[in-house]
């Protein structure tokens, strides 16, 4: 069932599965199913935003680490080295 799959995707933090499920939203026959789906879709969107923020933070940290490593790189060639 779609709602159970969405619950599983949220619990496992599977962004690909979330995107696929939200993209293929079924029609609901009962009001309760619709309310549950709405709540879960909102939870899924919050999770996706959280994952996006975590990714941005990780990328920022990687950039800082790369800049630090590049700034501490020692060039082994001396000024008297005639072979370039």
Domain ranges of the chain: 2-70
The widest CA-to-CA distance across the chain, in whole angstroms, is 82
The first and second tokens of residue 64, run together, are 């800082």
The backbone torsions φ and ψ at residue 24, rounded to the nearest 5 degrees and listed phi first, read -105, 55
In the chain (84 residues long), the average pLDDT of successive 10-residue segments reads 93 93 90 93 94 96 93 68 62
Residues 6 or more apart in contact with residue 7 via CB below 8 angstroms = 40
Q: Are 66 and 28 spatial neighbours (Cβ–Cβ below 8 Å)?
A: no
pLDDT of residue 83: 65
């Amino acid at each position: 069932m779609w709602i159970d799959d969405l619950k599983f995707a949220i619990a496992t933090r599977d962004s690909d599965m979330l995107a696929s499920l939200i993209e293929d939203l079924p029609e609901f026959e009962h009001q309760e199913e619709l309310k549950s789906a709405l709540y879960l879709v909102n939870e899924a969107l919050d999770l996706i935003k959280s994952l996006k923020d975590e990714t941005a933070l990780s990328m920022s940290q990687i950039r800082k680490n790369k800049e630090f490593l590049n700034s501490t790189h020692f060039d082994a060639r001396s000024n008297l080295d005639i072979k370039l």
